[in-house]
Amino acid sequence: MNDVQAFKVLNLLCNYYKDEEDNLASVDAPSILALGSNEWLIYVFYSCLLDYGVRSKIYHNNLINTYHEYSFIFNPSYVRDNLKKEELLKIMRENIHPRYPNVALDKWINLSSKLAEFDDLKKFVEVMSLEELEAFIKSIGGYGQKTGGLLIRLIVDAKVIKTSDDLHFIPIDRHDMEISYLNGIIDKPNLNENDIRLLSDILISKGHELGIRASTVDKYLWNVGNFFCNKGKCLDCPLGDHCKKGKRKEEV
């Protein structure tokens, strides 16, 4: 892995996004939920659970609309004690449109059962260290590397937990691998678990050298993947002059 290239890429992104950092990679929630409140916290636990990164914006719009119409499915105790599985599945199918409805249903019910154990989730979470938060989310089950990492970032960015620690890990998905490969940070497009950990460590380290927090590095990668790579806008991309795909498009 090429840490020099990692530094160059992050420096380019830092300069490109320096005036937009507060709006990067935002995850929408219902406007009636105050950022960092107990209700907001419960909502983001649900919202991150099924955010697979595919058509993410549409998914979150669907979820917000569902919250306005069926807020009771975001009430852990109500889901656990009163809601029939068939009714919940129908609401999810017709409103949220998850990729895998039956899997989504099981995850939603499991999460509800775990969160229903807490009278005030925020009071439980806000005294945690970053390590304890990571362990708690892992213990719930149902969150993958990317969805769990997104949830941790949102909680940290909302200052729900009182820690000055930076994220220990950037959740690397296939889009992040592709960006890293096309920009010479890694020499192969697919990585194993150990390689992913090493790439995350390098990106965090080089980010810190530039004064960039790990959560911001994660936002940079998300934004590039979502707004440039996914839409084929190589010529507009801040990494266009650096990226193998961008250079090929310039030559055509």
Q: Which amino acid is at 17?
A: Y
Rounded-to-integer distance, Cα 172 and Cα 114, Å: 26
DSSP string, 8-20: HHHHHHHHHHTTT
Rounded-to-integer distance, Cα 197 and Cα 164, Å: 22
pLDDT at 54 over 80: no
Q: Which amino acid is at 124?
A: F
Spatial neighbors of 228 by CB under 8 A, at least 6 apart, are 234, 236, 237, 238, 239
Tokens found for residue 69: 């119409």
* H-type alpha helices, 74-144: 76-81, 85-91, 101-115, 121-125, 130-140
> Which among 215, 249, 218, 216 is positioned nearest to 231, based on CA atoms?
249
Residues 179, 239 contacting (CB under 8 angstroms): yes
Residues 210, 160 contacting (CB under 8 angstroms): no
Mean pLDDT of the 198-209 span: 95
> Which among 177, 122, 129, 130 is positioned nearest to 149, based on CA atoms?
130
Q: How confident is the model at residue 252 (pLDDT cuts 50, 70, 90)?
A: very low
In angstroms and rounded to an integer, the radius of gyration of the C-alpha atoms of the chain is: 19
Tokens found for residue 248: 């090929």
Give the lowest-confidence range in 70-74, 213-217, 219-223, 226-230. Answer: 226-230
Mean pLDDT of the 47-63 span: 84
pTM: 0.81
**Percentage above 90 pLDDT, the chain:** 64
3-state SS class at 219: helix
Tokens found for residue 234: 């190589």
> Which among 43, 20, 45, 14 is positioned nearest to 30, based on CA atoms?
43
Annotate 66-79 with three-state secondary structure. HHHHCHHHHCHHHH
Give the lowest-confidence range in 12-26, 64-78, 206-220, 222-236. Answer: 12-26
Mean pLDDT of the 134-155 span: 90
| φ/ψ of residue 78, rounded to 5 | -65, -45
Q: For the beta carbon of residue 64, count every other beta carbon within 10 angstroms.
A: 18
Question: What is the helix, strand, coil percentage profile of the chain, to 5?
Answer: 65, 0, 35
Give the lowest-confidence range in 61-65, 141-145, 171-175. Answer: 171-175
Q: How confident is the model at residue 25 (pLDDT cuts 50, 70, 90)?
A: low
Rounded-to-integer distance, Cα 148 and Cα 168, Å: 13
Tokens found for residue 98: 């998850």
pLDDT at 164 over 70: no
